[in-house]
Amino acid sequence: MLCFLSDAYREHNPQYEYFRGEKVPCFESVERLDNIVAALQARGHECVSPQTDASSVIAKIHDPAYVSFITHAWQEWLALDEKNHELQPFPSVWPTRTLRDDIVPDNFIAKLGLYSMDNGTPLAAGTWCAAKSGADAAVSAANYLLAGHSSVFSASRPPGHHAGRDFMGGYCFLNNAALAAQALLDQGMKKVVVLDIDYHHGNGTQSLFYDRDDVLFISIHGDPKTEYPFYLGHEDETGEGAGQGYNVNFPLPIGTTFTQWLSALEKAIERIQDFQADALVISLGLDTFEGDPISKFTIKSEDYFQVGQQLASLKLPTAFIMEGGYATEALGTNVVNVLEGFEQA
């Protein structure tokens, strides 16, 4: 499968995050994509540089003030204190219920809180550069489908599905899957599905398309009662206004096996067939893997071929957009198993 890949992912290299008050190495690491690229090359998949500037699509999906903030955040952080080049900015205050979120404060940490859903999304010197290159890859993938090809993979990090119109979070800054879907619609497609199979609910993507009937959003994920992002992803979230009925969530319990996961996928596939889409965007997370360090499903490496096969049964032009997956050693194998299962179906 053709892959869009930019080396700029290496520039997003934060050194630590917080887990229960403790500083720990970042789960969302440079080595993740290194491992995927090695597997793609070893198994004969061609990688090419993104050919499109995603800026105009970014301006439709994201709030310009938010985009401007993340573009300049690292410089603003450095300007605060000489020693900040060795540290990472984390928010410490948020406009939760009763507080105002309609005025952008001057204080950098206050702005960071306004534009963040969590304090688990470290920002580093090359974050914007890497995130923008992932957006360019996703829009390039959309354009590749529009040119008449049947499948494509956007190989990028950081991931995107937790990022909303004006917020980052869950390691995500720009919503690459939403950008791909919007690019497909902007260039003549009428209906697009975003199917999110990352372990974590794609709250950013859901919120971006919640009131729209031109994008069907379906997510299969760990139940938010126990799993991140906790505050969205329940079964009763079905869309609003024109989007009523065009949002479908399949929350699954801790310990979900491949057989149980597949029966949710089969229901998702039925709903997609009913929708009669022009294209399919897959938010491809591999953190459903049994060995994932932050997730609790039990899917095995060999099972991912069948995931790809099932997706191919829809017979739609399909763009795979990389999301999560933190079992670094197995990640490349798991990604390529999905892609090859799809191609060989």
Q: Which of 159, 251, 308, 332 touches ligand OKP (CB under 6 A)?
A: 159
Q: Which does 294 bind (CB under 5 to 8 A by kind): Zn ion, ligand OKP, none?
A: ligand OKP
Residue 225, Cβ neighbours under 10 Å: how many? 11
Give phi and psi for 299, each to the nearest 5. Answer: -75, 140
323 binds ligand OKP (CB under 6 A): yes
By beta-carbon proximity to ligand OKP, the closer residue of 65 and 254 is 254
261 binds ligand OKP (CB under 6 A): no
The Cα–Cα gap between 232 and 279 comes to: 25
120 binds ligand OKP (CB under 6 A): yes
294 binds ligand OKP (CB under 6 A): yes
162 in catalytic set: yes
Residue whose entry in the numeric block shows the structure tokens 């605060």:
80
157 binds ligand OKP (CB under 6 A): no
**What residues numbered 165-194 form the site for ligand OKP, per CB under 6 A?**
170-171
By beta-carbon proximity to Zn ion, the closer residue of 199 and 217 is 199
The Cα–Cα gap between 92 and 156 comes to: 28
Rounded to the nearest angstrom, the gap between the alpha carbon of residue 237 and the centroid of all alpha carbons in its chain is 19
Residue whose entry in the numeric block shows the structure tokens 């049947």:
150
Shortest separation between residue 233's beta carbon and Zn ion, angstroms: 11
200 binds Zn ion (CB under 5 A): yes
The Cα–Cα gap between 335 and 340 comes to: 9
The Cα–Cα gap between 254 and 252 comes to: 7
The Cα–Cα gap between 167 and 115 comes to: 4
223 binds ligand OKP (CB under 6 A): no
Shortest separation between residue 71's beta carbon and Zn ion, angstroms: 25
* Contact of 155 with 138, CB cutoff 8 Å: no
Take residue 329 and report the two structure tokens written for it. 């050693």
198 binds Zn ion (CB under 5 A): yes
Selected catalytic residue, list 45, 162, 201, 221: 162
324 binds ligand OKP (CB under 6 A): yes
- Could you tell me the CA-to-CA distances from 9 to 29, 218, 238 in Å, in that order? 10, 27, 34
Q: Which residues pair with 221 in a beta bridge?
A: 251
Size of the site for Zn ion (CB under 5 A): 6
171 φ/ψ sector (left φ>0, alpha ψ -120 to 50, else beta): left
| Of residues 162, 187, 156, the one with CA closest to residue 175 | 162
Q: Which of 136, 198, 237, 303 touches ligand OKP (CB under 6 A)?
A: 198
Size of the site for ligand OKP (CB under 6 A): 14
Interface with Zn ion by CB under 5 A: which range of 78-86, 248-256, 285-293, 306-314?
A: 285-293
By beta-carbon proximity to ligand OKP, the closer residue of 265 and 316 is 265
Interface residues toward ligand OKP, by CB under 6 A: 19, 120, 159, 162, 170-171, 198, 200, 228, 285, 287, 294, 323-324
